[in-house]
Structure 1
Amino acid sequence: MSVSAPSIFMLNVTGQVESGKFIEGDNLYFSYCFTSGQDWEAISGLEECISQITRRSDDERQIFTWNFPIDITFKSTNPFGWPQLVLSIYGTDIFGNEVVMGYTACHLPLAPGKHTRKLTTFVPESASTIQKFMAWLTGRRPEFVDPKLIAQGRGREVTRVRSQGEVTVSFNVMMKDFAKLGYDCGAPPRTPYFDVPVQNVKGPVLSGAGHSEA
């Protein structure tokens, strides 16, 4: 009896949003969501969620620790529109107003295994100095109506932003039936720099050794 070839592949991602570093604000929490192409479908797990509130640590690190879990499984027939994780961080300013502290997004890792990402966050800027002062005074800072906008290229060129903070996220990735459909998603080499053949070097190149002999 012949076994039919698979028509879809599956991507399972677990992990956690570990911590964040922000100069301003306190009592931070975040919401996350996933965005992907039309051929992708989430078949298990949460596509959107809100974390608990955490306070700044009292030690010299001054970090915010969430350790909030992520667990989702996608299926697709086309790698185009590879899923992205979008984070929106909120907290309180010096006046006690709840404001956005940062946005960030990243593609889910393209290879199986464990991965850690340090994501720089940013916030939208007001169009004028007066608007910026009023936003600071009233606590109503500019926000994106749809956070998924930051994972798209369209319309980003007209948006003024500034960097603010950093978030650490860890991923554990499992893939199914990618190779059967002709996609090579093997683990990346441990020393990719030295495994790349060196060009325009006299003498034979020792692949993986990181040097050459005359």
Structure 2
Amino acid sequence: MAEVHIIGQIVSASQFPSHSIFCKWGIHAGGGWKVVEGLKEGQTHVDNPQYDNIAYWCHPIDIHFVTKGIQGWPKIHLQVYHQDRHGRCEIYGYGYCHIPTSPGNHSINCVTWRPVGSMRDQITQFFLGGGPQLKSPDVVYCGNDRFRLQTETMGVVHMELGVILRNFDKFGVEC
């Protein structure tokens, strides 16, 4: 079977409205894909930069897939959270991007967004924290009902991923 190795890291995040953020991530692939080794999901540590607006995570990603075709090519989905001084966590942004189909090293900037509620929700969020969240995080990368959401842009998550393709020509899989 054809093999795809994804090796890299979630490097940092920038342009978020406040500090003390962390990221939950996952890699979603279609039904014809099987994980041989590695983790499909994880979470970074909380970074609270004092002098810069960039949170550095340098969180590793290392996963090995096998597949019979390119349908359902992997994509990475992200959820960025803010942790306040009381330890409460609120969603700061959702995002996803496709894993590159070409071999080599790739720098990826994933723009994030979050749902915006009514004016009452926004006032409550300002004074009490929290805010609207997605009931099903699958909406982030499936997109079936995403067009109905009112959203606002948040920050950007920076990743460096290396993609290695193996045996694609041997098994007749074309990218």
TM over 0.5: yes
Of 78, 88, 94 in structure 2, the residue corresponding to residue 87 of structure 1 is 78
Moved more, 150-159 or 131-140: 131-140
Greater relative contact order, per chain length (Cα 8 Å cut-off, separation 6+): 2
Q: How many residues align?
A: 175
Task: Name stretches of at least 5 consecutive residues in structure 2 with no aligned partner.
Answer: none
Structure 2 distance, partners of 1:141, 1:182, is 48
Q: Do the aligned partners of 1:100 and 1:143 also contact (CA within 8 Å) in 2?
A: yes
User: Which entry has the higher C-alpha Rg, 1 or 2?
Assistant: 1
Name the % identity: 26
The residue type equivalent to 2:75 in the other structure is Q
Structure 1 distance, partners of 2:27, 2:129, is 28
- For residues 20-54 of structure 1, the C-alpha deviation after alignment (integer angstroms, 9 at most, x for no partner) is 11341221111111111111111210111111111
The residue type equivalent to 1:135 in the other structure is Q
- For residues 93-116 of structure 1, the C-alpha deviation after alignment (integer angstroms, 9 at most, x for no partner) is 588742111111111110111000
The residue type equivalent to 2:54 in the other structure is I
Residues 123/95 of structure 1: CA separation in 2 closer, same or farther (3 Å cut): farther
Distance apart, 1:57 and its partner CA: 4.7
Residue 102 (structure 1) aligns with: 93
Residues 100/159 of structure 1: CA separation in 2 closer, same or farther (3 Å cut): same
Structure 2 distance, partners of 1:162, 1:95, is 25
Distance apart, 1:159 and its partner CA: 1.2
Residues 79/71 of structure 1: CA separation in 2 closer, same or farther (3 Å cut): same
Distance apart, 1:92 and its partner CA: 3.1
Task: Name stretches of at least 5 consecutive residues in structure 1 with no aligned partner.
Answer: 1-7, 186-214
Q: Do the aligned partners of 2:82 and 2:89 also contact (CA within 8 Å) in 1?
A: yes
- 1:113 and 2:104 aligned: yes
- 1:177 and 2:170 aligned: no
Flag the structure with higher strand content. Answer: 2
Q: Do the aligned partners of 2:4 and 2:166 also contact (CA within 8 Å) in 1?
A: yes
